[in-house]
Chain A
C-alpha cells in the first residue's frame, strides 16, 4: 500500500519570504499523480497544485511550485513571497494512475508571521 509522509507538523515563515514544505511517499508504481491541498482555518480544502509522475517538468501555479524528485520519491511545495492568506494546513496526497482515491499525508500547519 502506498504511504505519504509529511515530516514537518508545523512550519512558520515571515511574510514575503519563501518556505518549503516537505513530502515523501512510498510506492512501487511508476504512473501516479501527486497533489498539494490547502485547508485554511475556514476548513474547506482546496487544490493548490498537482503533478503527473511521468512529467519531468515541475508544476508551477503563480507563487506555488513543486520540486518533484521521482527517484527519491519526494514532492516538496515551495511558496514564494508568502502572504498572510497562505496560513493553513497543507496536505500532500498521492493517487495511483488507475485509482480514484487519494492517500493523504499527516499535514503541515503553516503560520505566516507579519
Chain B
C-alpha cells in the first residue's frame, strides 16, 4: 500500500513564524500535492510538483512556498505565518500520467493553528 506520511498531526505556531510542513511518500510517485481543507470550501490546491525541483502554483499559492529536493519529500513553507493560514493541510501523491488509473493518495493531514 502507498504510504504518505505527514510529519505532524497537530502544530501550533505564532504569527510571523516561518513554518515547515513535511510530507514523505514511499511509492516513488512523481506527483506530490499540497492542499488546505476548510469547512464549506472543500480542498483547495496550494502547490503541486511533478518532479524533483519542479513546482506549479495551484489555486491559492499566496503566502506559501514549496520545496522538492528529493523525489519522496515535498515540503510546504509558510514564509511568515498569519492567522488566516490556520487550517487543515493535506499532502497527496500520485503517479505521473493522464490515464484514469492514477488516483491521489493522501496523508493523515496536519491541523495547523496560528496564534
Binding site for B on A (CB under 8 A): 4, 6, 9, 33, 35, 37, 42-47, 50, 52, 91, 97-102, 104-107
Contact = CB atoms under 8 A, between A and B. Distances in A.
Contacts, number: 51
Contact of B40 (A9, A50, A98): A9
Contacts of B48: 100-101
A14 to B, nearest CB: 25
B98 interface: yes
Contact of A106 (B41, B58, B94, B98): B41
A100 B31 contact: yes
Interface in B62-98: 88, 90, 92, 94, 96, 98
B108 interface: yes
A99 B98 contact: yes
Interface residues of B, number: 26
Interface of B: 31, 33, 35, 40-45, 48, 50, 58, 88, 90, 92, 94, 96, 98, 100, 102-104, 106-109
Contacts of A45: 90, 92, 106
A98 to B, nearest CB: 5
Given A44-B108, A102-B45, 5 more contacts: A42-B108, A50-B100, A91-B43, A101-B45, A104-B43
Nearest to A52: B100
- Closest 10 A-B residue pairs measured CB to CB? A45-B106, A104-B43, A104-B42, A106-B42, A47-B103, A33-B100, A43-B109, A52-B100, A44-B108, A107-B42
Contacts of A43: 88, 108-109
A44 B108 CA distance: 4
B42 A91 contact: yes
Contacts of A102: 43, 45, 104
